[in-house]
């Protein structure tokens, strides 16, 4: 087993219209406005940019992300990443009754040297750190969607 290889899957049920969710997710330059752990997004061209993440653990992850699929009809976004994390991320937005089912899938290999060194003993902390980041992302996304609708939060 490669202890530096991770697969994450999160399903979020959201009280929002699928198209509104998709429109927010297709704008990674706005992620730092609603997702606190995404500290910086610097667009380098139309389909790629550099992102810096930091959750609870005291380290930053920096990746170059390149859009590989942006499908507003199917509401699917896919991104390839290189840098401290190498792999892919996929968002799939579908209708779920009056709301949205948002599926997040990520498969990456950690390239950051310290995280590779601590791969075995640190794995539970890295997984918990990711879970915290995802929980915060969901909370921030819900708040941003509510604000965009004019709801009182």
| pLDDT of amino acid 1 | 80
Residue ranges per domain, the chain?
5-149
Q: What is the pLDDT along the chain (153 residues), one digit of tens a residue?
A: 899 999 999 999 999 999 999 999 999 999 999 999 999 999 999 999 999 999 999 999 999 999 999 999 999 999 999 999 999 999 999 999 999 999 999 999 999 999 999 999 999 999 999 999 999 999 999 999 999 887 755
Give the integer Cα–Cα distance in Å for 92 and 94: 7
CATH code of the domain made up of 5-149: 3.30.530.20
| pLDDT of amino acid 69 | 98
> Which of 8, 1, 14, 12 minimizes the C-alpha distance to 143?
14
- Could you give the dihedral angle defined by the CA atoms of residues 90, 87, 125 and 140, in that order, rounded to the nearest 10 degrees? -30
């Amino acid at each position: 087993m490669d202890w530096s290889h991770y697969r994450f899957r999160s399903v979020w049920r959201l009280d929002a219209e699928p198209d509104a969710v998709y429109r927010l997710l297709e704008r990674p330059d706005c992620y730092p406005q609603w997702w606190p752990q995404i500290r910086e997004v610097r667009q380098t061209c139309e389909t790629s940019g550099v992102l810096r993440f930091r959750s609870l653990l005291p380290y930053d992850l920096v990746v170059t992300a390149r859009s590989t699929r942006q499908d507003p009809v199917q509401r699917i976004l896919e991104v390839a990443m290189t840098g401290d994390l190498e792999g892919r991320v996929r968002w799939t937005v579908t209708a779920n009754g009056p709301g949205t089912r948002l599926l997040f899938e990520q498969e990456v290999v950690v390239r950051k040297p310290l995280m590779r060194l601590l791969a075995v003993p640190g794995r539970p902390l890295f997984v918990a750190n990711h879970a915290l980041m995802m929980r915060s992302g969901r909370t921030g996304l819900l708040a941003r969607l509510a604000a965009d609708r004019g709801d009182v939060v």
